[in-house]
Amino acid sequence: METSIQNRNTSYRNIINKIPNKRKQIYEIILKHNGITAQEISNLYRLPINQITGRITELKDMCFIKESVLHINHQSGNYCTSYVAVKKTEEFMFLTNAKYSALVNMKKSLEFDYHYGLSEYTMKYIKKELKKIESKITRLDTLQKIAA
């Protein structure tokens, strides 16, 4: 049993090492700080915010990071979400399973609406969203298989 857990944990670490460089850079910053906002990353590392927020969304979709707590941005007075890295394989598997289930439910709902006979505009929108969801499901499925 211990060996299979070690293999799974090694597989999870290998997945993280294979993500594209820009995502990996943001992941490593979040891992290092253990609770940091996109704006703080931008300020500390002098990176444009638009290069950070997209990577954060991608990393969240892949379940490599998760939202932590809200921080107040002292410049704007608004609240900002901080992010932490998902470090444990068990948590990664739990998050990917939950996200996978939510995406499958969304897909089923959209497919039902699509076949229900809505307007052409709505049908095009649903078709586009279905493709996005299917892509996310496939990505999570691949990640889970590698980590298993």
Torsion sign, CA atoms 22, 24, 28, 31: positive
Q: What is the pLDDT of residue 4?
A: 60
Q: Does the CA dihedral 41-45-49-54 come out positive or negative? A: negative
**Domain end: 85, 104, 121, which one?**
85
- The residue among 144 and 101 whose pLDDT is bigger is 101
Tens-place pLDDT, residues 30-60:
999 989 999 999 999 999 999 999 999 999 9
Please check whether residues 23 and 58 belong to one and the same domain: yes
Same domain, yes or no, for 74 and 31? yes
**Domain edge (last residue) among 85, 106, 138:** 85
Quote the pLDDT of residue 119.
Answer: 74
Asked if residue 27 and residue 77 are part of one domain, the reply reads yes
What gap in Å lies between CA 68 and CA 101, rounded to an integer?
22
**Are 9 and 78 in the same domain?**
yes
Identify any residues that bridge with 72 across adjacent strands, giving them in sequence order: 79
Query: What is the overall mean pLDDT for the chain?
Result: 85
Q: Count the domains in the chain.
A: 2
Local confidence band at 107 (pLDDT 50, 70, 90 cut-offs): confident
DSSP string, 70-130: EEE-TTT--EEEEEEE---HHHHHHHHHHHHHHHHHHHHHHHHHHHHT--HHHHHHHHHHH
Mind listing the pLDDT tens digit for each residue in 4-19? 656 656 666 677 777 8
CA atoms within 13 A on the CB side of 135: 8
Q: What is the pLDDT of residue 116?
A: 77
Residues 72 and 111 in one domain: no
The pLDDT value recorded for residue 56 is 95
- Between 121 and 35, the more confident residue is 35
Please tell me whether residues 50 and 20 are part of one structural domain.
yes
If asked whether residues 108 and 71 sit together in one domain, one would say no
Boundary of a domain, candidates 45, 65, 85: 85
98 or 143, greater pLDDT? 98
Q: How far is 60 from 131, CA to CA, in rounded Å?
A: 19
Q: Do 80 and 98 reside in the same domain of the chain?
A: no
Closest CA to 12 of 92, 116, 73: 92
For residue 93, give its domain range. 89-147
Strands ordered across the beta sheet of 65-72: 36-37, 79-85, 65-72
Residues 21 and 81 occupy one common structural domain: yes
78 & 134 share domain = no
